[in-house]
Amino acid sequence: MTETRLDLAKNTLVVLTIVLLIGSTLWILRPFLGATIWAVMVVVATWPALLWFEARLWRRRSLAVLVMVLILLLLFVLPLTMAISTIAANADEVVAWFRGLIAKGPPQLPEWVGGLPFVGPKITTAWEELVASGVAGVEAKVTPYASQVTGWLFSQAGVVGALTLQFLLTVVIAGLMYAQGEGAAHEVRRFGRRLGGQRGEDAVVLAGKAIRGVALGVGVTAIVQAVVGGIGLAIAGVPFAALLTAVMFILCIVQLGPTLVLAPATIWVFWHGDTGWSIFLLVWTLIVGTMDNFLRPMLIRRGADLPLLLIFAGVIGGLLGFGLVGIFVGPVLLAVSYTLMNAWLDSAEAPPPATTAPLPLPLPTTPGPTP
């Protein structure tokens, strides 16, 4: 009995020590966890591109890593820096443009708006009150919101700086992972095998496929929709098309779609009397807004054959639960859990292995009468 108690105390102390070590390690690495998760997602999603560059650069991994790091800098750090400098340089121009728009007064509301069921009369009444108030009334209504937006932008300056530093750290960690990718993947698969045998290793492989599928489905679709939508805005002559393109990209990443930008732009063009360009932009909005219905499932299934509803729930839930990095973490966690549950259910329903029927035992012979 005493030996059993000593074993229990020893096992308890061992578990507590392991938990303390894991918690301390995570606490020390906490400033780097976000960048590390982002780097893992980026490296797993773009690993085929690294191998493609390596095959064409004389099998030199260092040259391929250098090319990938430069591409990541161009994709992450440079656009963010340019966006910040562009907003800072054009802030006065944006304010002057809004003041000029307000000075013109509210445009005439189209007649068909009043005929809309339920909301048409309310919109018409509110618009007539706005027109009757004149330019001073419009400025009085807009100024409080403009000051709130300006204050929010100034408060987010530190957040933007921290985000830039996070992107730089992500690029550095991704470069290290590119250089030692095979070794890291081998160790992760060993860890999964040690935890759950073959199923644990399969879960690791599935996580990689889910990351690639989400990166292709969510990221590439957002890029395509934003770029095509921005081209339409530029062709139609909508001001600040580059800034609106960046907003569309963010909305597509969070699964809200580009229509929230393209629809108001179409209405703005129509109210300024450009009927032809407004019709063009309306058709363009319909094309871009529905593009993800066939593009996203096709790209996701190239990485992992997962239900689209699961990916959608993972993106939205991950974004709300973990922030921007949850866009990739959420779908991966749901995909691994979904596949493991299916494997567990399939193993429970699998028929037992067939066994050969036992050979019949020899029947005892009835002894005959002794002579």
Distance CA 212, CA 192 (A): 19
Instruction: Spell out a b/e string for 121-156, using b for 16 or more CB atoms within 10 Å of the CB, else e.
Output: eeebeebeeeeeeeeeebeeeeeeeeeeeeeeeeee
pLDDT reported for residue 145: 57
Distance CA 227, CA 220 (A): 11
Kindly report the number of other CB atoms within 10 A of residue 208's CB atom. 19
Instruction: Give 155-198 pLDDT, tens digit per residue.
Output: 545 555 666 677 788 889 999 999 988 888 888 889 888 887 88
Q: Give the residue extent of every domain in the chain.
A: 33-90+157-179, 202-347
pLDDT reported for residue 363: 45
Angle between helix 30-56 and 181-214 (nearest 10): 100
Instruction: Give 214-264 pLDDT, tens digit per residue.
Output: 777 777 888 899 889 999 999 988 887 877 887 788 788 777 789 988 998
User: Are 260 and 251 spatial neighbours (Cβ–Cβ below 8 Å)?
Assistant: yes
Distance CA 337, CA 313 (A): 13
**Residue 371 token pair:** 């002579």
Instruction: Name the residue with higher pLDDT: 32 or 214.
Output: 32
Going from the C-alpha of 274 to that of each of 188, 216, 266, 268, 277, the distances in angstroms are 58, 37, 10, 9, 5
Distance CA 229, CA 247 (A): 11
Distance CA 85, CA 350 (A): 61
DSSP label at 355? -
Confidence band of 69 (pLDDT split at 50, 70, 90): very high
Instruction: Answer whether residue 76 shows pLDDT above 70.
Output: no
Instruction: Answer whether residue 360 shows pLDDT above 70.
Output: no
pLDDT reported for residue 184: 86
C-alpha radius of gyration, the chain, whole number: 31
Distance CA 331, CA 318 (A): 7
- Quick one: average pLDDT of 266-283? 84
Nearest of 227, 224, 218 to residue 319 by alpha carbon: 218
Instruction: Answer whether residue 279 shows pLDDT above 80.
Output: yes
Instruction: Give 322-350 pLDDT, tens digit per residue.
Output: 776 677 678 777 877 877 777 677 766 65
Going from the C-alpha of 315 to that of each of 37, 218, 221, 311, the distances in angstroms are 15, 9, 14, 6
Instruction: Answer whether residue 24 shows pLDDT above 90.
Output: yes
pLDDT reported for residue 357: 47
Distance CA 36, CA 26 (A): 12
Distance CA 111, CA 267 (A): 14
3-state DSSP of 126-184: HHHHHHHHHHHHHHHHHHHHHHHHHHHHHHCHHHHHHHHHHHHHHHHHHHHHHHCHHHH
Instruction: Name the residue with higher pLDDT: 60 or 197.
Output: 60
End-to-end Cα, the chain, rounded Å: 69
Determine the Cα angle at 255 with ends 254 and 260, to 5°.
95
User: Are 310 and 331 spatial neighbours (Cβ–Cβ below 8 Å)?
Assistant: yes
- Quick one: average pLDDT of 297-304? 73
pLDDT reported for residue 314: 81
